[in-house]
Amino acid sequence: MTYIIHADYQPLNYIISGINSSQIKEICLKDVGDTLFLRCARGLFRRVGLFWLFRSLYIKSESLKQISLIKENTRVIIIDNRHLVDLRIIDKILPSSVERNLFYWTPICQLFHRYTPEKRSKYMKAISKMYRISSFNADDANIYPEITVKPPFFRFPKESESASDIKQGLYFIGYEKNRLNVLLKYKASFEKLGLQCSFLIFKRKAKGISYLENIRNVSRCSCVVDITAGQAGISLRPLEALFFDKKLITNNKSIKEYSFYHPSNIFVLEEDNLNDLPAFVNAPVSVISKNIKEEFDINTWILNY
């Protein structure tokens, strides 16, 4: 039996709902609240080492109960949890024979952006004493010897999620993340070539749109635009394009290392000729086999973890 423990995060909820094995169970860590009082209380108990006595202030009682029911000789995969106290609480609850894994699908420098590089290294060492750590981002593995590289994952969409009518052209959604000028530069370049663009760029902590709305937008676009910064692995957008049979425009040159790369479907900015982009967008999508897609399906990913 494998247990997936993850935060209540819309993209993860969507992907994990695609799990189809009775041998895989999920535990979703619901938000415990973020009032000023709770933040101060959690900080105090963490500093004085009393977090275990007040663990329900960090992880909801319902989730703690679910974790406590995990049996011997099973496997746990925690996804993207950056809270050292949470990880210590979970580690203490789990039976000693449980295989403990932690996967990061966000670059370490972004997850721990408030910390110095030295403190991030200290955190990785502390976490590695409890869990085997892996990341989608090869750069993380180059910096932290405790981390190994694992590919990211997605899920096969339902038939009802694939729109037959394409209403918008080039689609990007994401937070600024110090790349606003780059995003606007590319958008202007695309529009100068006569390409329709739908760019949804949000400031940090802005609400944005729901992930299901994003999926609907992906299903209706002709190309997904992926502009990354500070990572070697791929984000959600290339996998959304893959599973929804959409073309991809990206500045992530490592995309060529993946089995689903096809020059008819993926345009690499700063390598491919920008003047060829309109012809690329208007050409038919090349079909990628189901076998290749299955390499990145959540069920296969868990099986091969």
Give the number of other CB atoms < 10 A from CB of residue 194. 10
pLDDT in tens, 6-18: 999 999 999 999 9
Q: 2-149: what CATH class?
A: alpha beta
What is the spatial distance between Cα 161 and Cα 158, in angstroms, rounded to a whole number?
5
Instruction: Please calculate the CA angle 198-176-10 and round it to the nearest 5 degrees.
Output: 75
pLDDT in tens, 224-282: 999 987 677 898 999 999 999 999 999 999 999 999 999 999 999 999 999 999 999 99
Instruction: Tokens for 160, please give them.
Output: 């009802």
Residues, the chain:
305
Confirm whether pTM is higher than 0.95.
no
**Where in the chain are the domains?**
2-149, 159-289
What is the spatial distance between Cα 267 and Cα 248, in angstroms, rounded to a whole number?
6
pLDDT in tens, 207-216: 889 999 999 9
Side chain identity, residue 143: I
pLDDT in tens, 114-168: 889 999 999 999 999 999 999 999 999 999 999 999 999 999 998 877 766 666 7
73 and 98 in contact (C-beta within 8 Å)? yes
State the pLDDT at residue 163. Answer: 65
pLDDT in tens, 61-102: 999 999 999 999 999 999 988 889 999 999 999 999 999 999
With residues binned 3-state (H G I as helix, E B as strand, rest as coil), the percentages for the chain, rounded to 5, are 40, 20, 40
Side chain identity, residue 136: F
Q: Is 49 left (phi over 0), alpha (psi -120 to 50) or beta?
A: left
Side chain identity, residue 167: K
CATH number of 159-289: 3.40.50.2000
E-state strands within the chain:
2-7, 24-29, 75-79, 99-104, 132-135, 147-149, 168-175, 197-202, 221-226, 247-250, 266-268
DSSP 8-state symbol, 230? S
What is the spatial distance between Cα 236 and Cα 172, in angstroms, rounded to a whole number?
12
Q: What is the Cα 105 distance to its own chain's centre? A: 4
What is the spatial distance between Cα 226 and Cα 214, in angstroms, rounded to a whole number?
14
State the pLDDT at residue 125. Answer: 95
